[in-house]
Amino acid sequence: MDKNKNLPAFAIHTLGCKVNTYESDAMAGALRRAGFREVAFSEPADVYIINTCTVTNIADKKSRQMLHRARKQNPEALVVAAGCYVDAALQNPQMQAVLRDSAIDLLVPNRDKGRIAELIAERLFGGGESREQKGQGQDGLFVTELDGHTRAFVKVQDGCNQFCSYCIIPYVRGRILSRPVEDCVAEIRNLAQQGVREVVLTGIHLSSYGKDLLQHKTSGGTAGPEARKSDDIMNGGDAPLLQLIRAVQEIPELRRIRLGSLEPRLMSPEFVQALSAMEKVCPHFHLSLQSGCGETLRRMNRHYTPEEYRQSCETLRRYYDHPAITTDVIVGFPGETEEEFAESRRFAEEMGFYEMHVFKYSRRAGTRADRMEGQVPETVKEERSREMIRLSEEMSRSFRESFLGKEVEFLCEEEVEIGGETYGQGFTREYVRCLKKGRGFQKNELVRGAASEIFKEKAVYESLILR
């Protein structure tokens, strides 16, 4: 008989960004250490946790849907809403209905995710009645194990000081907060020793990593020269982010380092040259664009011009032979005219991205953009979104096709069955999915072969087929 079946069961569903993925892994680990057992979200559970997102109206809707789905799956279960959707509701009078949603038993804001096991145990075994829990500062999250994973997301930074005019995240995540290098390295080293071979350094605003640590070094918190210097995103050879990457590079078991979303103005020649000298850093860079129109960028409160963004891409392509550059683009931002959209589309096409994540502008109460004139009709946003997605698909296909006939290497993650055939599956350093027919592939094995075609079966994400 399996003794673990007597333990209370929990399930987690994650919405949103890579930071949420990391935090879900950390919360799951905390619950396992506290004596709970994890099950799939589709299975019966005593506790359902929805790690929510609020970056768009669609994210809010998905958060609500998953909370109500959990309640329907087991009306007697403890349903927990955690994360950004909760923080937004606690701060915004227009979202107060969330606090009264009968599908939710426990609200856990971001600051309390590190106490998730304690809060759940109190509700299940300690007779606690309060649905809203009070925060205790830093989140205290860390990941100690990832069973069987090749890749791990590790949060090295939280919060954002940028306050782009469309974005609610600085309000729900707070100001920047960086983890010390030694803490990050210790966590990644432990994961690498357990078999993780690829780490993704991620944060809410990764480019700000270390800015707060540098400011804390100034005497008495005064704005001395070093503090004033840190008011800008730091680049060059002594950037704190580079110091962190260099330290992670020294972990012997680790084979690959990927970076989360970065600001284009971080990509100085000094910074990129330093990155290119570290062989474990993958040539896969996500530079957030949002719009290729300078006037739209100004209204968005983005701190660069299209020409500066172009220079960042050119710098990456100068130091890397064929880097994968991906981005985010918002269509239908307030005031975006047909001419501005056409300018943005032309710019994106000129940049030749590997992938482009397209978002329709979503009004968020409490942001400057919500109060702007010239709100674009939903039908126009939808049309522009479809056009930009078509462009993204064309560029993505072109990038994959550039590997055909060339020797390619991928890090195997698993064997998969497709159409009655067995394949080893994994990703190249550029994050291009690959398949190679055969059996006996081992997790974390480096697999090589000539890219002969692109697998386009509807049920499978487009992949390179290796021979």
Q: Can you tell me whether residue 441 is helix, strand or coil?
A: coil
More confident site: 455 or 32: 32
Q: What's the rounded mean pLDDT across residues 65-79?
A: 96
Per-residue confidence (pLDDT) for residue 139, from 0 to 100: 61
Per-residue confidence (pLDDT) for residue 305, from 0 to 100: 97
For 285, residues 6+ apart whose C-beta sits below 8 A from its C-beta are 259, 262, 267, 316, 323, 324, 325, 326
For the residues of 73-105, what is the DSSP string, one character each?
H-TTSEEEEEEHHHHHHHH-GGGGGGGG-TT-S
For 49, residues 6+ apart whose C-beta sits below 8 A from its C-beta are 10, 11, 12, 13, 24, 27, 80, 82, 116
Which amino acid is present at 23?
Answer: E
Q: Of all residues in the chain, what percent carry a pLDDT higher than 70?
A: 90
Range of weakest confidence among 64-73, 133-142, 148-157, 319-328: 133-142
Q: What's the rounded mean pLDDT across residues 259-288?
A: 96
Per-residue confidence (pLDDT) for residue 136, from 0 to 100: 37
Q: What's the rounded mean pLDDT across residues 341-352?
A: 98
Q: What's the rounded mean pLDDT across residues 364-374?
A: 94
Q: Of all residues in the chain, what percent carry a pLDDT higher than 90?
A: 81
Q: What's the rounded mean pLDDT across residues 156-181?
A: 95
Statement: residue 230 has pLDDT above 50 = no
In this structure, are residues 11 and 38 in contact, taking their beta carbons and an 8 Å threshold? yes
Q: What is the pLDDT of residues 376-393, one digit of tens each?
A: 999 999 999 999 999 999
Please state, in angstroms and rounded to a whole number, the distance separating the CA atoms of residues 56 and 53.
8
Q: What is the pLDDT of residues 104-126, one digit of tens each?
A: 999 999 999 999 999 999 999 88
109 CB neighbour count, 10 Å cutoff: 23
